[in-house]
Chain A
Amino acid sequence: AQRVTQPEKLLSVFKGAPVELKCNYSYSGSPELFWYVQYSRQRLQLLLRHISRESIKGFTADLNKGETSFHLKKPFAQEEDSAMYYCALSSPSGGYNKLIFGAGTRLAVHP
Chain B
Amino acid sequence: DVKVTQSSRYLVKRTGEKVFLECVQDMDHENMFWYRQDPGLGLRLIYFSYDVKMKEKGDIPEGYSVSREKKERFSLILESASTNQTSMYLCASTRQAEAFFGQGTRLTVV
Query: Considering the chains assembled together, what is the distance between the CA atoms of A6 and B97 in angstroms?
Result: 20
Q: Is A32 an interface residue (CB 8 A)?
A: yes
Cβ of B92 under 8 Å from chain A: yes
- Confirm or deny: B28 has a beta carbon within 8 angstroms of a beta carbon on chain A: no
What residues of A have a CB within 8 angstroms of the CB of B30 in the complex? 96
- Given known pairs A43-B102, A43-B104, A44-B90, the reply for A99 and B41 (CB within 8 Å) is no
| Alpha-carbon gap, A4 to B31, bound state (A) | 21
Q: Chain A at the B interface: mostly helix, strand, loop or mixed? A: strand
Range for the number of chain A residues in contact with chain B: 20 to 34
Chain B minimum-CB-distance residue to A33: B97
- A to B contact number (C-beta, < 8 Å): 59
Known: A96-B48, A102-B42, A104-B43. 8 other contacts (CB 8 A): A43-B103, A44-B101, A46-B99, A90-B94, A98-B48, A99-B97, A103-B41, A104-B42
Residue among A32, A49, A103 making CB contact with B42, cutoff 8 Å: A103
Size category of the binding interface on chain B: 20 to 34
Chain A residues whose C-beta falls within 8 Å of the C-beta of B40 in the assembled complex: 9, 103
Tell me whether B45 and A98 are in contact (CB under 8 A): yes
Interface residues of A in 54-91 (CB under 8 A from B): 86, 88, 90
CA gap between A57 and B97 in the complex, in Å: 21
B98 interface neighbour in A34, A101, A103, Cβ under 8 Å:
A34
